[in-house]
Structure 1
Amino acid sequence: MTPKPTIVTKDHVEKITAKLRKEKELATPPPAESVRVRVPYAKEVESRIQVIRDPTKTIGSGGTIEDFAKHFRDRFYKISRILRERLDVKDARTISEALEAAPNEKVKFIAMVMEKREKRRRIFLQVDDLENAATVLIPAEADRLLIEAAQRTPLDQVVCIEATKATGDLFVGQNIILPDIPEKKANHADEPIYAALLSDIHVGSKTFLEDAFNRVVLWLNGKIGGSKQVELAERIKYVIIAGDLVDGIGVYPRQEDELSIKDVHEQYKLAAQYIEQIPDYVDVILIPGNHDAVRQALPQPAIPKEFADPIYAARDVISLGNPAEIKIHNVHFLLYHGRRLDDVV
């Protein structure tokens, strides 16, 4: 039996083609939506760091008496210049000139407070300058503000004293003028970027705030925080750690009882693990503190590689001495981990 011929029309072709096209569309997965990778703003900003002053390579003191004398002479000169910028101190004399004044004559001179003692509610200040020495008496009946100023003035402070000449090398104090902090207009970067300022992390201590510091690292990576906090973190270009990255060893009596890590090398190894997690586009600037593995006397050199090598190996770090002065994006920073209050408390 001869098969009946099949006639393929144009309609047949169009139907079959449409069916195949539909099957192909169903079998092909839809293209994935393009995911926009969010690039932190600070990553696109070029680093602009200028080290103005770093004591690391200029420390040359051998601890001699002359070294200490040179330090105090330099300090006296510098604070005297600051004091003389005041209109009411420009006419201040030296102690030698004040000693030549007639009894009961009012005088004004710049001096360093060397000794202070109280007796029968009276305060005696032993003062000197680069040429001479004298005694300043603050009477018990003096103005309350003057008595409080005398009590608060620490030793080695350079001040201007207004007084009345008494007998010999004695002056009766009437006013104590402290050096001012110059008023400076705040300067801002010319780009909307920020620096995060940290200090006293004390890795290795039982009081190290590990959870809080972990959250700081996560925040810097944009992994926690609301939209505004994430946007702020993305503009962090610099992290400045101003001393006491670790808790150290033997800084004070029985410190070992308060340590979770009793090896300073291990303390720096753990600190390196945290520092390494800071985004690589963020510049880390580090200075030592009194708990770090450097000499206690100021100025301090940068933390030596002998101890902080794990940190320097983990990532690029700008390591400076204490105190140091830098400029980032045309904004001045004085980096200082001070111990002056230790002498007060």
Structure 2
Amino acid sequence: MPRPTPVRVVSELASRGYNAEREAVTLLARADDLDRAIERATESAPTDTLTLSAEDVETALPALESSNPPADTAEASDTSTDNPSVSGGTTSHGSNEATNSPVETKGSAIGAADGKLDEEGGASERSVNPELRSLDVQGDVTGRSTGTGEYADFVATFRDRYERLSGLLRSRVNHRPTEAVDAMAGGSDAAIVGMIADIRSTANGHWLVELEDTTGTFPCLVLKDREIAGVVDELLLDELVAVEGTLAGDGGILFVDELHFPDVPRTYRPSTADRHVRAALISDVHVGSQEFAADAWSAFADWLHTEDAAAVEYLLVAGDMVEGVGVYPDQDEELDIVDIYEQYEAFAERLKEVPGDMEILLIPGNHDAVRLAEPQPGFDEELRNIMSAHDARFSGNPSTVTIEGVTILMYHGVSLDEVIAELPEEKANYDEPHKAMYQLLKKRHIAPQYGGHTRLAPEERDYLVMEEIPDVFHTGHVHKLGYGKYHNVLAINSGCWQEQTSFQKSVNIDPDVGYAPILDLDTLDLTIQKF
């Protein structure tokens, strides 16, 4: 009978929870009875072994040969000639459990498990060198949360926000504290850096913006016929701005001539990697939902095993691994898996479908089993253990990830709902989620408005300030694909892997399903793969 291919050997081992060295697979592929050879090799291997070595197989095979049945019996017991792709997670024979279990290809796995079938039925290898990789995470609240909900915590959060963002504005204006401006003579030129405490229109159609700093508050008037009146509708409560203008004749109010956001300088130039390497940026997988797009996910995972995806060495997932429980009204009626831990177990199985040599980073979202208030700490130890496939790494929401010199700000994106609700449609909407992301870049804060749609946790440090400019800003949450550049910062909202739910239908959201933005880290060019 034909010898089994290396791909089939790897599939059989994976269905039993093992990887193997290349030479070990070669030895097993030479066995006349693959099932008995694997059974013997796995039974005789040390109990803590996850990757079979050539020595393990060599030790097992002599004992097997002494007890082999006649050749005609062995041939009659295995009539399968199928040779499936290892990336599909199926085997040509065996139990249903083996058929339904995705192939686990850890970083130490052989090339056959990390490649695709070539024309001869073998496997092409992903050419990766882990020594060239680097992935560092900053700005993660995990393990650093200090908030207790007391008044002092809120004061600390807003004071930290003010100090760091005002530092970005002070170089642009000759500002003075509000108490000093209040003491200046009428008609004087003045500038203030402050947090927006109130915005309201006057009876004559002008705008009164009240700014607050650490010394007090001061009213600033934007006249309706001034050019800057066009940006007032972009302002959100609690964000930081700088204004310049002239005090009224009797003082007490500042007529605004110029308004400045912390913003990203137009001269900003992003960093790039020193070699050709790519990252897949996805979000909102929602395993556990009846609407989870399983076929699209499997097609994506299969593609990652192909030569076309050989340079994709990083996978960044921006939240909502699972559908969760009780997130929106009547959600239980649309759940395929009702237990939250079983949802994460199912997600872990899906994660095993991707190549085992990839670097994977996961941050939580509002459907995940972490606190809802942002910043969100990363997954707890129990959930990390469930999602341990491929030695995935975990971080909080948001987190700044530097990959081979390229800085990527990962944020799930709940505050996008707030920006879209508050700003005019032409400046922020669901069909163009990157425009709402531009607003956050302009404000240099992930969720500036407190007390609205976004739950915010008071901490000693405001982890939502964009003090450093990212090269790439990656979000999800709104289930819409959108991308573009704002002052040379690439903004990407990566869509989702869940078909339209009844809740989304009720709020008129038609999701963009099965898209995988692929980022070239050496050029920051973006390719959108549809599955």
What is the distance in 1 between the residues matched to 2:130 and 2:185?
Answer: 70
Over 3 Å counting, the alpha-carbon distance change for 1:184 and 1:163 in structure 2 is closer
Indicate the residue corresponding to 1:99 in structure 2.
Answer: 182
- Matched with 2:241 is 159
Residue 44 of structure 1 deviates from its aligned partner by 6.5
Give 1:324's match in structure 2, choosing from 378, 392, 399.
399
Q: Displacement, 1:46?
A: 4.5
1:109 aligns with 2:195: no
Q: Structure 1 residues 174, 279: CA separation in 2 closer, same or farther (over 3 Å shift)?
A: same
* Map of 1:270 onto structure 2: 346
- The alignment status of 1:217 with 2:293, answered yes or no, reads no
One-letter amino acid matched to 2:397: N
Point out the more displaced range, 102-111 or 244-253: 244-253
Q: 1:253 to 1:324 in 2, by over 3 A?
A: same
Deviations 1:127-151 (A, max 9, x none): 21011111122234x32x4222112
CA contact (8 A) 1:247 1:291 kept: yes
CA distance in 2, matches of 1:46, 1:39: 17
* Residue 202 in structure 1 maps to residue 255 in structure 2: no
Q: Does residue 1:185 correspond to 2:269, yes or no?
A: yes
How far apart, in 2, do the equivalents of 1:256 and 1:196 lie? 31
- Residue identity in the other structure for 1:213: W
Please report how far the alpha carbon of residue 62 of structure 1 lies from its aligned counterpart in structure 2 after TM superposition. Answer: 1.2
Partner of 2:158: helix, strand, or coil? helix
Task: Find the counterpart in structure 2 of residue 12 from structure 1.
Answer: none
Counterpart amino acid of 2:253?
Answer: L
Could you list the runs of 5+ residues in structure 2 that have no partner in the other structure? 1-118, 422-531
**Residue among 327, 331, 334 paired with 2:409:** 334
| Coordinate RMSD, CA, aligned | 2.4
- The secondary structure found in structure 2 opposite 1:297 is coil
Q: Distance in 1 between matches of 2:138 and 2:202?
A: 47
- The answer to whether structure 1 residue 279 and structure 2 residue 355 are counterparts is yes
How far apart in 2 are the matches of 1:60 and 1:92?
Answer: 33
Moved more, 171-180 or 270-279: 171-180
Alignment CA distance shift 1:266-1:35 (3 Å)? closer
Aligned mates of 2:122, 2:299 — CA distance in 1: 26
Q: Deviations over 1:69-119 (max 9, x none)?
A: 111111111111112343xx2x12221222122222221111110111224
Shift, 1:168, TM fit: 5.5
Residue 155 of structure 2 aligns with an amino acid whose one-letter code is A
Could you tell me how far apart the structure 1 residues matched to 2:152 and 2:263 are? 29
Which of 276, 292, 312 is 1:236 aligned to? 312
Bigger Rg, structure 1 or 2: 1
Aligned mates of 1:264, 1:252 — CA distance in 2: 15
| Letter in structure 2 aligned against 1:324 | S
Corresponding position of 1:19: none
Contact 1:95 1:134 in 2 (8 A): yes
Partners of 1:268 and 1:308 within 8 A in 2: no
Deviation at residue 293 of structure 1 after TM alignment: 1.0
Task: Quote the Cα distance in structure 2 between the aligned partners of 1:210 and 1:112.
Answer: 46
Counterpart CA distance in 2 for 1:54 and 1:163 is 39
Contact 1:150/1:176 (8 A) holds in 2: no
Partner of 2:386: 310
User: Which has the higher mean CA deviation after the structures are superposed, 115-124 or 273-282?
Assistant: 115-124
What is aligned with 1:66? Answer: 152
The CA distance in 2 between the partners of 1:34 and 1:253, in whole Å, is 53
User: What does the per-residue CA deviation read over 1:264-310, in whole Å, with 9 as the maximum and x for residues that have no partner?
Assistant: 22221221111111111111111111221111222211111334532
Of 75, 78, 87, 2:164 maps to 78
- Residues of 2 paired with 1:254 and 1:85: CA distance? 52
Cα distance in 2 for residues equivalent to 1:245 and 1:169: 53
Deviation at 1:196, TM superposition (A): 1.0
Question: Residue by residue, what CA displacement relative to the aligned partner does 1:210-239 show, whole Å, maximum 9, x if unpaired?
Answer: 3222211111112xxxxxxx33x1111111
Tell whether the 8 Å contact from 1:42 to 1:193 is kept in structure 2 after alignment.
no
Distance 2:183 2:231 in 1: 26
In structure 2, what residue type is equivalent to 1:146? I
Corresponding residue for residue 3 of structure 1: none
Aligned equivalent of 2:364: 288
TM-score (norm 2): 0.52
Provide TM-score, normalisation by structure 1: 0.79
- Deviation readout 1:176-202 (Å, 9 max, x if unpaired): 211121444232222222111111222
1:41 is paired with a residue of what secondary structure?
coil
Cα gap change, 1:45/1:307 in structure 2, threshold over 3 Å: closer, same or farther? closer
- Further displaced range: 64-73 or 208-217: 208-217
1:124 and 2:235 matched: no
Contact kept? 1:201, 1:208, Cα under 8 Å: yes
Which residue does the alignment assign to 2:231? Answer: 149
Match of 2:219 in 1: 135
Partners of 2:179 and 2:405 lie apart in 1 by 44
Report the alpha carbon displacement of residue 240 of structure 1 after superposing the two structures with TM.
0.8
The count of aligned residue pairs is 299
Aligned partners of 1:93, 1:101: CA distance in 2, in Å? 10
SS at match of 1:278: coil
User: Structure 1 vs Structure 2: percent identity of aligned residues?
Assistant: 33
Separation in 1 of the partners of 2:121 and 2:236?
63
